[in-house]
Amino acid sequence: MAIPQSITNRNPSQLHSDQDFLNHSESNSLEISIPHIYSRPFIQHDVWQLKNNAAARNYEVALDRSSYETHFYNQQRIAAVIKGRQEKFFMEHPVATPAGFRKFLEASLEKILTEAEFDASPYVCKITDPSDNGFIHGYGKYLLYGDDNEGAPFCLQYFHFAPGQKTPLHDHPVACVSLVVKGQIVERHYQAVSATEARKTQITLRDYFDRKSILDLSATNIHSLKNKQTSHAGSVHFYYMDGDVTSRAVKTIYLKAPQNGFSVIRNLQ
Ligand SMILES: [Fe+2]
């Protein structure tokens, strides 16, 4: 696994001029337009080559320069920690596979973030005005790391939720792990009642460093994450980016079906 040079070799002096940021455009991206004020060589050169254009879309919410630099240093420290673990892992396990290393990293996600001194402070949500129609799903997404890992690709993302914001109901075509790193998150689980609708089955309150894994893709994994607190919340997601060029981290977006008296398990302590 080669750590992308665009993250290991950059420093703030290599950040582009403001004029470059303003002129930046991404020609083959963006189903939904998000303002980009900074050039994104990391996305274009690295995740773009994860065989997964779709997953690289819509990551960055515009940050001011100071916040962007903090984000940039998060990327660099995480890359350095992963590189260090890679060397140690293959020294201790010389016949291990890239898939084995990816599993090891996923299982070590908390330690990686701690060792990298991950700083969630610079991040913001995409839509900040609660009166905006897009506010509820206007949470921020940021790419923290991406690697093709010799055919066992993966990426790390950070999601930032303002109070009241949530993901749509969705499921995943790829294995993934989520970890709460700021505030609290309420996770709802659903069962599909049709190809487009799903009914709630369980609600769980997730505290700091609570981890949830979706590794068995033969089981239903429809869920949503919501920040029901009055302060901001955030979670880090580790996605196994297997698949062809059309694959992506989310498989289907569902609508909420009426409960019709079906009970919901609540774990809100
Ligand atoms: Fe998810």
In the chain (269 residues long), the average pLDDT of successive 10-residue segments reads: 39 37 33 32 40 46 78 87 95 96 96 97 92 93 84 88 96 92 97 96 96 91 96 95 66 92 89
Cα of 177 from ligand 1 centre, angstroms: 8
We find that the CATH architecture of domain 5-267 is Sandwich (2.60)
Cα of 171 from ligand 1 centre, angstroms: 6
Cα of 79 from ligand 1 centre, angstroms: 23
Cα of 222 from ligand 1 centre, angstroms: 8
Which residue, 189, 212, 185, is CA-closest to 265? Answer: 189
pLDDT of residue 61: 66
Cα of 245 from ligand 1 centre, angstroms: 20
Cα of 121 from ligand 1 centre, angstroms: 22
Cα of 224 from ligand 1 centre, angstroms: 6
Cα of 90 from ligand 1 centre, angstroms: 30
Cα of 170 from ligand 1 centre, angstroms: 6
Cα of 230 from ligand 1 centre, angstroms: 22
Cα of 15 from ligand 1 centre, angstroms: 32
Backbone angles phi, psi at 266, to 5 degrees: -115, 120
pLDDT of residue 51: 37
Angle at 101 between CA 98 and CA 102, to 5 degrees: 90
Residue in the block written with tokens 């880090």 = 236
Residues 6+ apart with CB under 8 A from 254: 168, 169, 170, 171, 190, 192, 196, 197, 198, 222
Backbone angles phi, psi at 104, to 5 degrees: -60, -45
Cα of 263 from ligand 1 centre, angstroms: 22
